[in-house]
């Protein structure tokens, strides 16, 4: 539980902070006045002023925010340096910068991993890299780092042996697994889950990972390529969701927090990879043309650029309310789905 909470706080905090920093830095570069840039939410713990901006550290470490003067046209104390007084193009850049930084973060993370640690490949040894919480292996007491010695008396010498052996397990059949932990040999009984989709028994484990360090140039090229490929797959997956909403499997904050905790069992590097994937996801979602999201704000600015004037305050109010209502409904649905999964799975 502690690992799950710490991992979730780290991932959510990093992604939101990077997103807000994107808005912040572009607001500064386009000449807007930023009154505060905060790390975290809630009561201030520390603060310092640099020029016109207050930089603060707050009590709840979940991301951060920045206070750009003039976001509300009816309350603009910054004059021509307020957001609402800047050209449409400048405001577009600021709005898109949050998602843009979410797209840049994975490149930075992948580059750092590839250049310092290396590219991960499944290790051939039958050593558990991750044991999924709540799954059969976890319930039987297996942990990351355990070395599998035998399954039902058959000697296991590599990971391929392990997966091939589990493929032969029939539905509702239990298996005896002998493993080594801290130089001690232990045996346990595991009741695999039979996956109809995979047509074989699964116990909820993944192999350990070995890393091969890359040169600076190769690491950067691979980081950009990897980010582009994942981004393309996510966009295609989102399109499929809109085509067949009934088949969509979505997770809310609770589900994502659980996944973060599970990934963190394998170490900090897998958690950084997970953060990179989630950052791309956050960037895509934020660009959807939904009022209250950055994509919705961008559409409003696009309308202003085409028509030569912004939407009326009344029209803007109604679109924002509709967007907030839609987001609240979606949050309710995915959170309910998360709770059901936690209780019944």
Burial class of 343 by CB neighbour count within 10 A (0 to 12, 13 to 18, 19+): exposed
Interhelix angle 294-307/313-344, nearest 10 degrees: 160
Q: Which of 20, 52, 196, 229 is catalytic?
A: 20
CA 278 – CA 231 distance, rounded (Å): 11
Nearest to 96 by CA among 289, 291, 294, 292: 294
Interhelix angle 268-286/216-243, nearest 10 degrees: 50
Coil, strand or helix: which one is 115?
A: helix
Instruction: Tell me if 9 sits within 8 A of 54, measured CB to CB.
Output: no
Instruction: Tell me if 260 sits within 8 A of 266, measured CB to CB.
Output: no
Q: Specify the DSSP element, H or E, that contains 231.
A: helix 216-243
Coil, strand or helix: which one is 178?
A: strand
Active site residue 160: no
Q: For residue 238, what are its two tokens? A: 């989102």
Nearest to 128 by CA among 110, 140, 116: 140
Helix and strand numbers, DSSP H then E, in the chain: 9, 12
Active site residues: 20
């Amino acid at each position: 539980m502690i690992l799950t909470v710490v991992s979730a706080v780290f991932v959510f905090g990093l992604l939101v902070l990077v997103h807000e920093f994107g808005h912040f830095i572009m607001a500064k570069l386009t000449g807007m006045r930023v009154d505060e840039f905060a790390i975290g939410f809630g009561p201030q713990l520390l603060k310092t002023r640099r020029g016109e901006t207050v930089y603060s550290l707050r009590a709840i470490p979940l991301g951060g925010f920045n206070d750009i003067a003039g976001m509300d046209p009816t309350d603009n104390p910054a004059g021509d340096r307020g957001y609402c007084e800047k050209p449409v193009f400048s405001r577009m850049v600021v709005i898109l910068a949050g998602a843009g930084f979410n797209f840049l973060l994975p490149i930075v993370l992948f580059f750092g991993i590839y250049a310092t640690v290396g590219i991960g490949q499944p290790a051939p040894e039958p050593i558990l890299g991750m044991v999924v919480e709540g799954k059969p292996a976890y319930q039987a007491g297996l942990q990351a780092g355990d070395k599998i010695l035998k399954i039902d008396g058959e000697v296991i010498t590599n990971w391929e042996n392990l997966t091939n052996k589990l493929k032969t397990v029939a539905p509702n059949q239990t298996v005896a697994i002998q493993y080594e932990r801290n130089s001690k040999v232990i045996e346990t009984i595991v009741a695999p889950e039979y996956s109809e989709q995979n047509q074989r028994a699964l116990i909820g484990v993944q192999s350990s990972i070995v890393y091969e360090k890359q040169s600076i140039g190769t690491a950067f090229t691979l980081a950009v390529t990897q980010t582009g490929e994942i981004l393309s797959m996510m966009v295609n997956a989102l399109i499929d969701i809109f085509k067949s909403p009934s088949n969509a499997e979505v997770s809310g904050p609770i589900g994502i927090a659980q996944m973060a905790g599970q990934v963190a069992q394998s170490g900090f590097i897998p958690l950084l990879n997970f953060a990179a994937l989630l950052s791309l996801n956050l960037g895509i979602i934020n660009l959807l043309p939904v009022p209250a999201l950055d994509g919705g704000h961008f559409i409003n600015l696009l309308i202003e650029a085409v028509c030569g004037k912004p939407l009326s305050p009344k029209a803007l109010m109604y679109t924002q309310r509709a967007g907030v209502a839609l987001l609240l409904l979606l949050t309710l649905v995915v959170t309910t789905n998360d709770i059901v999964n936690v209780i019944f799975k």
